[in-house]
Structure 1
Amino acid sequence: MKILSLVFLITALLQIVKISNAQELNIPGSIYNGVDSTISSRKPFNREKWFYEQRMFPNNYLPKDAYSKALSQRDEMRKQNGYYYNDYTPSWINLGPTSGYYFNYGYISSRIVTLAIHPYNHNIIYIGTANGGVWKTTDGGISWNPKSDNETSLSSGAIAIDPMNPEIIYYGTGEATYSLASYYGRGLLKSTNGGTTWTNYSSDLPSLSYTSRIVIRPGNSNHLLAAMGNSGLYRSTNAGQNWHLVFSNRTDDVVFSPTGDTAYASGNLGIVISTDGGATFPFNAGGYTSATRNHIAICNSSPNILYAAGYYASNPNETKIRVFKSTNHGEFFYPVAVGTNFEGKQAWYDFYIHVSPHDPDLAFVGSIDIWRTTNGGDNFYNITNGYNGGNVHVDQHNMAFHPVDPNIVFCTNDGGINKSTNKGDTWTNLNQGLTLTQFYRIASNPSNYLHILGGTQDNGTQRTYGSIDWVAAFGGDGGEVVYHSVSNQFMLGETQNNGVKRSMDFGGYWVSATEGLTGSAAWIGPLISHPDSNGIFYTARQQVFKTTNWGANWFPISSGTTGTIRELAISKSDPEVMYASISSYLYKSTNMGYNFTSVTNGLPSRTLTSIQVHPDSSNVAVVSFSGFGTNKIFKTTNQGNSWFSIAGNLPDSPVNDVLIFYPGFFTSTYIAATDVGVFVTDDWGTKWRELTYGLPNTVCMSLDYHDFTGRLRVGTFGRGVWEFNILNTISQIATGSADNFELLQNYPNPFNPSTVITFKLPSKQKVKLTVYNTLGEVITEPVNSMLSAGTYNVNLNMSGFSSGLYFYKIETDNFSDTKKMIFIK
């Protein structure tokens, strides 16, 4: 890649910089290069490209052991150093969405990839989610519980339940995206107690796995087959403990006949058949032509009937999906529903075929919508119409049938899970209670900590005013979000590729705000507020844009570049100082963005993911990077003239965001959101520790710190938003039983802004300490956890609240007391 150069152009109206040779990520041999335009133009492809290429760069692959090494480094850090905040401190608290609400689709969670129904207790259902792990319901979908939050991978591919012993669950990790990249699958997880605990079997499976289907041989539960996409077909004969490769050709799907003697696998070999329980596949089905992606289904009540469907990427849009049927046990397939347009233009991403186990004439094709035949394939009709008012979210991923009731069918898609009790005529969703949202970015209202806005994958930009049930502000894939620093009722958000929206009423009503914006944009475009001037926001595409009227229109303050600008930052103490990044290159302006100079020297060749300027000094900035194999956080104390690493002992994992902790005064504390957790340092980056416990093992994408209340929020890529009050901490100052329960008067009192509350416990108790204002409203809850007997100090910081009289109340099973305190600024 060329070294970027700056060419300064001066006009009569303003000075403009041209970053003339700046380019987007350029990875020779990238799996995303040279893809057919019918695929590369689709939204799922572009967001995946954005997500994975920054993790691969500068390589054209994900290092196969990099993620497992990062997890091991994190786990060793936990073992050696524990968490930064001790066990008495409240853990991360989930803020939802539980669930979200997305216009005509109703309640949504996020993409659900796979599901399995208990063969005997039909109220028990397991689902596998995009990056939120396994969830289980025992009441038919009324409520859900996560079952794998702390396992090695929360990226789901397939789930299978042993019919001989339904307590045995197999969970194949790694979502099968069919584009040669998958997010950190780690082989197979097996549970023998209904998902309570899991054992990871990965030594014989691909180190970066993705799993399309796992099937258990009827009559012999020790025998399993796993379709592992581009890695081929694998077989186990000892209930998943060991695996061997049957063949290496790409395998998209696999099914057993009801007897278990015959197995069918579909992939780039077409449809191949085994008559020895999956040990070998010497036979090819006639009549079926191998496609880019291939799926197969068998009717258990009539096993002579099979359906197959292929996604043919090079075909015109109207014939990209073709459906076939066999009536002679798979010996020969013939085309059905010829001429039907199944909306297959992105079936590399959303595609399946399933047939009812009760009725061989009832079959379904999933693509963008669900297509159904009730006459054995003669005709298929769209029964969901998600883009035309239907209540089933678009982009279908899987389907399962009730084991006994032929009318009940479940489907999963980009919005979650739906259920039909009439073979698909109508649908209800089962998403309430699921916390699976994949957030790109989050932001809190500076003047009201209850107001949170976040851009999500698949499900628009979601907002909450304090409830764990969020609602959509607007649709599309979301992106960056920002409140104006001074007038917080003015907000900006965006759809994919910097489709900017604005609200002038705290997010109640949104309109398009792209007037004046031109050029290509990054998948997630930057949006920032001027720190102290009303009306001013900045964004960027192939140049930096500015608005002085809250986004009503924009004008450029830099001229074009061949790359797209991913990150922007502005100094709070000196708004003349700004930074912009393209790929791994960083630029600085000292005149409000009109001229830029390169400050890349000393930084690694990795994708830059965030820029933070110290609130109290424009000389100090911190930047973070994605990828593997080098340090990921760097700091400057001279506006980028030189950089030094502050990554210390951080795990070698992509760092997605970094935050300078500034509670109104200089600290040596920085916080980093990574693919393996949230970490903190209080010694300028020499030593890092995991912040605190309770966060699921998912990707942490975006940090937000609410200055007034000390609330740190993290937006995860698969488990919603989580919060930790970093200012209010608790420590045990004496062990052993106290004589009595006691709540002491805070000290000092009056105070500004911090005080210490002490309480004593004579026995182990669940303790809740709550602070109220004079209206009886809860303003913070610094303690809500199980504590051993002893004496405890709670450090309470009230810097975000107004002066006045407050009350603090302690509650246990056996004791309650309330006292007054006075905060004077």
Structure 2
Amino acid sequence: MRTAAIAVLAVAGLLAPGGHTASARGLEDDDGGGPAAPAEYSYLQKTVPGQPLPRHAYDTAAAQAAALPQAPGSWQPIGPTNIGGRVVSLALDPRHADTVYAAAASGGVWRSADAGRTFPPAWPERGTQAMGALAAAPDGTLYAGTGEPNPGGGSITYEGTGIYRSTDQGRSWRAVGLRDSGAVGALDVDPRRPSRVLAAATGSLYNAGGDRGVYLSENAGGSWRRVLDVPNGFTGAVDVQRDPANPDRVYAVLWDHRREPDKRTYGGTGSGVYRSDDAGAHWHRLGGGLPTADSGRIGLGIARSEPGRLYALVGTTDGTFGGFLTSADGGDSWTRLPDNAALAGSQSSYSWWFGKVWVDPADARHVHAAGVALMTTKDGGATWTAEENAVHSDQHAMLWDPHTPGRVYLGNDGGVYRSDARGDGGWTKTTYEPWTQLYTVAASPQDTTRISGGAQDNGSLRSWGGDRFNEYLGGDGLQNLIDPTDKNRVYACSQYGNCSRSTDGGATLTEYTDSTTADRRNWLTPVQFDPVNPNVLYYGGNRLNRSTDGGATWQPISPDLTGGPGHDSYPYGTITTVAAARDGHTVWAGTDDGRVWVTRDLGAHWTQVLSGQPWVTRIAVDADDPATAYVSLSGYRSGSPQPHLLRTGDAGASWSDLSGNLPQAPVNDVVPLDRNTLCVATDQGVFVNGRGGWHRLGSGLPLVPVSDIAYDPGHHHLIAATFGRGFYSLHTS
């Protein structure tokens, strides 16, 4: 490494001055603080401390990725096809019975021609996969608004690239504006004039300004003008709905929402309900009992069978239940209905994740509300019941099919469901919906059909022991492992390091979290095998734990390797990655507050070799040299020159930057394929180094974040866990 390069890295804070050292004995641990809320994890991982997420960071990096040369290879989707994931919007094709479209939060658009049983793709693989809203015009034209309007929830909210239009059922799409909308919460097409479209531009969650409010196009998206402005820089329109009994009457919901490095503000004075009586040309804010001061997100439902009847589900600024109201005069006056414990509980502490109300077109008293459970009232909100077992949790979209009386489609964190009983039970789940959001992947060299991984809100999944795939540990699925010498010895974790082990492939599980020693654990707590002896495992809380008996018992082998909770805007203060060398006594560890440590004597002494970095996502150790390691870093940069990939060949005494022409985006994993070839997983796909720099690896991989990679060198087989499109595999030779 050249001296000048060393100086640059030192100035950037890449080298720990003097190589800070610590002994595992005689140091006290910092006990402060608990884990951050689930919605914090990915945001903090993918931002630099003290900096907001830059405007257009994701699609700017995607353009950089698209410009790179492509290395040979072909990615193939390998499931899950039966799990699904976060569905944020649904639309019906008005010209074709049993045809419904679904938008996945980070998985594109899908079209079913068999009443929701199967969903083939209806969106380009190389387009943004971040979706917000769908709407179909009476002539069959389909509109898609990109960018997810729901903020956070164990995953980052990816911004979109505006509104798109398809005139051939999703086979091809054309960009039609509002490029700077950040996210689109809803779309509405005038039933009398199919070219007249209203869009609720939600705006960026991270940056003020841009396209915000309600926009109107008179020419099918050819041009737009804002018809409802917003009062604040972080106010956006999250919903727009037309009164089915009076097409000239339109309602919109505005919402203040902002995510900063050290806090989130999901409510404010700009939040409220607005009405237009001239098809969107002019608007006024509704009061009469609705909140007019600070409010959280508001969900609005309009009754078709009783003109003037409205419902509003009001959230508070802290995310709890704020009330359920009804109006009989089109919103001029409102009555707050008696609070209901079941409805209030359904909002948990994150009412901003839901904000939807759906009214049965045939019965104004039959209403569904979004929550953790699907909530139903048959008496206009006086009493409520929860659909807790028949459908997955966290509801986001619902629509009634006018072609088939009683048929209802539902979209939630588990995919798409259909009921032919007006949504009162009788739910059947879609059988083919290949858009799962995955955090991790594990594979077995003994049996290449055995794949496991952790999924957002869909637990730890496996390809054996039942359906391909099936959930064998609940919660948000995070770290998964398969013993390379015994395919039936598996390990799985849910959020914050709640981990279990199994000797029968996951049929029975034994929890081992309480056997580990930690004051704090990350949302995705790292658990890793020793590369030589899989009976030896490592578990990272804020201290590193080691097991020599397959995870039955654990002993701490480090002090607290972090700066503690709250350090530099990080609320965790935890280990995020562990990598043991093949020599049996060298172990590397990285943290969420940008530190890298190494021990050369199995934990008796530790040396801090990097500090001041963004979140350390992964460390990989050279198979032949324990002093050679690769470190991948996360964070979208706000004009910062800090690298995303580093290498050391001298146990951390010096570092070189390998980022080169990689897209300026988080690197989530680094895997050495051989001594000369590295493979990295990023928010813009998978890349491999080669002549002239980095290349996109293979064809056929959608433009979707890749969270994790498993590599089986014996079979030359790569498996990628994507956050939105399931698992993909590629053979390297």
Q: TM-score, normalised by structure 1?
A: 0.77
1:645-693 deviation per Cα after TM superposition (whole angstroms, max 9, x unaligned):
112211212111111012xxx3x1111111111111135xx51111111
User: What is the aligned partner in structure 1 of residue 665 from structure 2?
Assistant: 653
Q: Indicate the residue corresponding to 2:242 in structure 1.
A: 256
Matched to 1:451, the amino acid is: R
**Contact 1:483 / 1:492 at 8 angstroms: preserved in 2?**
yes
Partner of residue 67, structure 1: 58
Deviations 1:379-426 (A, max 9, x none): 2222x12xxxx1211111111111143411111111111111112232
Q: What SS does the corresponding residue of 2:53 show, helix, strand or coil?
A: coil
State the shift of 1:531 in Å.
2.3
C-alpha contact 1:153 1:184 (8 A) present in aligned 2: no
- 1:132 aligned to 107, 110, 113, which one? 107
CA–CA separation in structure 1 for the residues paired with 2:30 and 2:20: 8
Aligned ranges for residues 365-384 of structure 1 at < 5 Å?
365-382=369-386, 384=387
Structure 2 residue matching 1:348: 3-state secondary structure: helix
Partner of 1:274: 276
Q: CA deviation at 1:538?
A: 0.7
Match of 2:628 in 1: 620
Matched AA of 2:58: Y
- Cα distance in 1, alignment partners of residues 487 and 408 from structure 2: 46
**Alignment equivalent of 1:58, drawn from 18, 33, 49:** 49
Identify which of 47, 61, 71 aligns with 1:84: 71
Greater RCO, 1 or 2 (C-alpha within 8 Å, sep 6+):
2
Cα distance change on mapping 1:594 and 1:146 into 2, 3 Å: farther
- C-alpha change, 1:270 and 1:580, in structure 2 (3 Å) is closer
Root-mean-square deviation (Å) = 2.6
Q: What is the rounded CA distance, in whole Å, between the counterparts of 1:179 and 1:150 in structure 2?
A: 24
What are the within-5 Å matches in structure 2 for residues 86-125 of structure 1? Answer: 91-99=74-82, 108-125=83-100
Aligned to 1:678: 686
Counterpart-to-counterpart distance in 1, 2:701 and 2:381: 47
The 2-side partners of 1:509 and 1:149 are apart by 41
CA pair 450-151 structure 1, distance change in 2 beyond 3 A:
closer
Query: Residue 151 of structure 1: CA displacement?
Result: 4.5
- In structure 2, what is the equivalent of residue 786 of structure 1? none
1:109 is aligned with what amino acid? G
Query: Aligned partners of 1:19, 1:657: CA distance in 2, in Å?
Result: 31
Aligned to 1:184: 159
Q: Could you tell me which residue of structure 2 aligns to residue 156 of structure 1?
A: 131
Give 3-state SS (helix, strand or coil) of 2:132's partner. Answer: strand
Residue 549 of structure 1 and its aligned partner are, at CA, apart by: 1.8
1:355-393 CA distance string (max 9 Å, x none): 1222222211111111222223332222x12xxxx1211
- Correspondence 1:697-708 to 2 at 5 A: 697-708=703-714
2:364 equivalent in structure 1: 360
The equivalent position to 1:712 in structure 2, one of 703, 712, 718, is: 718
- Residue 236 (1) aligns with residue 217 (2): yes
Using a 3 Å threshold, how does the CA distance of structure 1 residues 644 and 260 change in structure 2: closer, same or farther? Answer: same
1:427/1:154 Cα in 2 relative to 1: closer, same or farther (>3 Å)? farther
Q: How many residues align?
A: 668
1:476 aligns with 2:475: yes
Letter in 1 for 2:575: I
| AA aligned opposite 2:358 | H
AA aligned opposite 2:473: F
Q: Write the distance in 2 (CA, Å) between the matches of 1:18 and 1:440.
A: 33
CA distance in 2, matches of 1:373, 1:430: 22
Matched-pair contact (CA < 8 Å) for 1:96–1:468 = no
User: 2:4 aligns to what?
Assistant: none
Deviation at 1:298, TM superposition (A): 1.4
Could you tell me which amino acid in structure 2 is paired with residue 255 of structure 1?
A: Q
Q: Distance in 2 between matches of 1:314 and 1:633?
A: 38
- Secondary structure at 1:455's aligned position in 2? strand
Q: Which amino acid aligns with 1:586?
A: V
| Counterpart for residue 141 of structure 1 | 116
> Is residue 2:567 matched to residue 1:580?
no
What is the aligned partner in structure 1 of residue 422 from structure 2? 423
The answer to whether the 8 Å contact 1:461/1:475 transfers is yes
The verdict on how the C-alpha distance between 1:336 and 1:692 changes in structure 2, with shifts beyond 3 A counting, is: same
Match of 2:462 in 1: 463
- Higher Cα radius of gyration: 1
**Residue-by-residue CA offset, 1:269-292 (whole Å, 9 max, x unaligned):** 422211221122135242212530
Distance in structure 2 (CA, Å) of the matches to 1:599 and 1:466: 44
Q: In the alignment, is the contact (CA less than 8 A) between 2:588 and 2:596 conserved in 1? A: no
1:202-601 residue pairs with structure 2 within 5 A?
202=177, 204-206=178-180, 209-229=182-202, 231-245=212-226, 246-248=228-230, 249-258=235-244, 259-267=246-254, 268-290=270-292, 291-314=295-318, 320-342=321-343, 343=345, 344-345=347-348, 346-382=350-386, 384-385=387-388, 390-465=389-464, 469-517=468-516, 518-533=518-533, 535-560=535-560, 561=562, 562=564, 563-600=573-610
2:26, 2:222 → 1: CA distance?
60
Q: CA deviation at 1:299?
A: 2.0
Deviations 1:623-655 (A, max 9, x none): 111123443111111121111111221121211
Structure-2 separation of matches of 1:546 and 1:455: 22
Distance 1:221 1:645 in 2: 54
**Equivalent pair of 1:514/1:553 in contact (CA under 8 Å):** no
Is the alpha carbon distance of 1:325 and 1:120 closer, same or farther for their aligned partners in structure 2, counting shifts above 3 Å?
farther
1:618 partner amino acid: P
Give the Cα separation in 2 of the matches to 1:440 and 1:538.
19
* CA contact 1:514–1:554 (8 Å) conserved in 2: no
Preserved CA contact (<8 Å) 1:398 1:413:
yes
Measure the CA separation in 1 of the matches of 2:671 and 2:466: 26
Q: In 1, distance between residues paired with 2:324 and 2:413?
A: 23
Alignment deviations for residues 158-196 of structure 1 (CA, whole Å, 9 cap, x no partner) = 100011x11x11111111124697213221121121111
CA, structure 1 residues 257+489, in 2 after alignment: closer, same or farther (shift >3 Å)? closer
Q: CA deviation at 1:515?
A: 3.0
Deviations 1:569-612 (A, max 9, x none): 111245434333342211111112332111116xx732211111
- State the alpha-carbon separation in 1 of the partners of residues 613 and 22 from structure 2: 25
Shift of 1:309: 1.4
Contact 1:441 1:456 in 2 (8 A): yes
**Mapped partners of 2:307, 2:240: distance in 1:** 14
Q: Is the 8 A contact 2:20 2:609 kept in 1?
A: no
Cα gap change, 1:304/1:528 in structure 2, threshold over 3 Å: closer, same or farther? same
Shift of 1:6: 5.7
2:730 counterpart of 1:724:
yes
Structure 2 contact 590–618 (Cα < 8 Å) conserved: no
Matched-pair contact (CA < 8 Å) for 2:590–2:617? no
1:23 and 1:659 mapped to 2: Cα distance? 34
Distance 2:151 2:281 in 1: 25
Structure 1 residue runs of 5 or longer lacking an equivalent are 10-14, 25-36, 100-107, 728-825
Distance 2:311 2:603 in 1: 59
Contact map agreement 2:31 2:519 (CA 8 A) in 1: no
Confirm or deny: 8 A CA contact 1:113 1:129 kept in the other structure.
yes
Q: Secondary structure at the match of 1:53?
A: helix
Distance 1:590 1:273 in 2: 67
- Which secondary structure state, in structure 1, belongs to the residue aligned with residue 720 of structure 2? strand
Q: Secondary structure at the match of 1:559?
A: coil
Q: What per-residue deviation string (whole Å, max 9, x for no partner) do you get for residues 76-113 of structure 1?
A: 22xxx3x211xxx5x211110111xxxxxxxx311111
CA drift at 1:435? 0.9
- Identify if the C-alpha distance between structure 1 residues 502 and 641 changes in structure 2 by more than 3 Å, giving closer, same or farther: same
Contact 1:463 1:472 in 2 (8 A): yes
CA distance in 2, matches of 1:672, 1:525: 20
For 1:400 and 1:498, how far apart are their aligned partners in 2? 38
Gap change, CA 1:471 and 1:643, over 3 Å in 2: same
The structural deviation recorded for 1:330 is 2.1
Superposed CA deviations along residues 765-824 of structure 1, whole A, max 9, x for unmatched, are xxxxxxxxxxxxxxxxxxxxxxxxxxxxxxxxxxxxxxxxxxxxxxxxxxxxxxxxxxxx
Tell me which amino acid in the other structure corresponds to 1:565: I
